[in-house]
């Protein structure tokens, strides 16, 4: 019985792994084929040799360098902003009692429920009105302004930091800004790690916001640069495959390096 159970277990795991990896493995193989080779061989035929020509084509003609650049700018600014804003909000909501606190908390709570994708119809008008259309700022402010989950994560975490610390610092003569910046903020490190991970992947993978708000060809991010491959490389799957790999490889590397933090981050983030 035990033997049957174990066999079934490993068989299903191996099958699931094959199903999961197969679509990606064939993309890897396609990415190393020449145009002629791609035409004449099937998806499971190994490439004749591993040269990176398609990668060079994808990277240069697909303007991927610029895509990475824009993605990194947006990612760094919006992550920094999200961390500071999330921590400030959590500090204000957890450490102070003030009039209208319930209203403010309710406003943040309500906002979590609004799926951002539904309000784009009207958000577009606001972004346009602010003159942010077709600039990196559109993506940055939208990443900052609509990220309530991070605030949640900080709120959960800040509650566990004993208030005695604040009080002791107050007795020492520290002001609120100093308490926040020098005492609370450093203690929020685990929450910051969670937010950076979730937000980092979200920003790297975001397609819709840059697609809608940053149509200029100079403002391509990773997702939109890759999406634009369909036009010029429409029939050249080997180049598209290389482009897909260029986008996936950094994700894979980060995943392999930070596995444990990533699992923790997503487990904590999603439960909120």
108-127 positions binding other proteins, by CB under 8 A: 108-109, 111, 113-115, 117-126
Within 10 A of 107 (CB to CB), how many other CB atoms are there?
11
Q: How far is the CB of 229 from other proteins (least distance, A)?
A: 7
DSSP letters for 128-139: HHTT-TTSHHHH
Give the footprint of other proteins on residues 134-153 (CB under 8 A). 141-142, 144-146, 148, 151-152
Binding range to other proteins, per CB under 8 A, among 47-55, 57-65, 185-193, 243-251: 243-251
Min. distance of Cβ 69 from other proteins in angstroms?
A: 16
Contact 132, 141 (CB under 8 A): yes
Residue placing its CB nearer to other proteins in the complex, 32 or 180: 180
Q: How far apart are the first and last CA of the chain?
A: 40
- Binding range to other proteins, per CB under 8 A, among 46-54, 56-64, 72-80, 252-260: 252-260
Unique residue bearing structure tokens 């999200």: 82
Using CB under 8 A as the binding rule, whether residue 65 contacts other proteins is answered as no
Compute the C-alpha angle 83/84/89, nearest 5°: 100
The answer to whether residues 116 and 146 touch, using CB atoms and an 8 Å cutoff, is yes
User: Total binding residues for other proteins by CB under 8 A?
Assistant: 102
For the chain, count helices (H), then strands (E). Answer: 15, 0
By CB under 8 A, the residues from 171 to 230 that bind other proteins are: 171, 173-176, 180, 201, 204-205, 207-208, 212, 222-224, 226-227, 229
Contact in structure between 251 and 71 (CB atoms under 8 Å): no
- Among 22, 56, 76, 235, the residue binding other proteins under the rule CB under 8 A is 22
């Amino acid at each position: 019985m035990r033997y049957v159970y174990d066999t079934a277990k490993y068989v299903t795991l191996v099958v699931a792994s094959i199903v999961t990896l197969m679509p990606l493995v064939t993309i890897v193989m396609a990415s190393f084929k020449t145009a002629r080779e791609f035409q004449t061989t099937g998806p499971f035929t190994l490439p004749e040799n591993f040269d990176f020509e398609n990668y060079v084509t994808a990277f240069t003609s697909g303007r991927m360098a610029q895509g990475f650049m824009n993605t990194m700018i947006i990612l760094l600014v919006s992550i920094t902003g999200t961390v500071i804003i999330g921590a400030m909000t959590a500090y204000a909501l957890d450490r102070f009692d003030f009039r209208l606190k319930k209203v403010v908390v309710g406003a943040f709570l309500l906002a979590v429920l609004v799926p951002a994708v539904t309000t784009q119809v009207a958000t577009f008008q606001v972004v346009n009105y602010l003159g942010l259309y077709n600039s990196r700022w559109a993506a940055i402010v939208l990443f900052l302004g609509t990220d309530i989950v991070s605030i949640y994560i900080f709120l959960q975490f800040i509650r566990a930091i004993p208030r005695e610390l604040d009080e002791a610092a107050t007795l020492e003569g520290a002001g609120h800004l100093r308490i926040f910046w020098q005492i609370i903020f450093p203690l929020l490190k685990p929450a910051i790690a969670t937010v950076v991970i979730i937000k980092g992947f979200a920003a790297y993978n975001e397609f819709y916001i840059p697609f809608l708000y940053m149509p200029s060809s100079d403002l391509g991010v990773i997702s939109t640069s890759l999406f634009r491959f369909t036009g010029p490389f429409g029939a050249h799957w080997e180049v598209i495959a290389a482009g897909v790999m260029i986008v996936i490889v950094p994700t894979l590397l980060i995943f392999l390096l930070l596995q444990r933090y990533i699992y923790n981050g997503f487990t904590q983030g999603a439960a909120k």
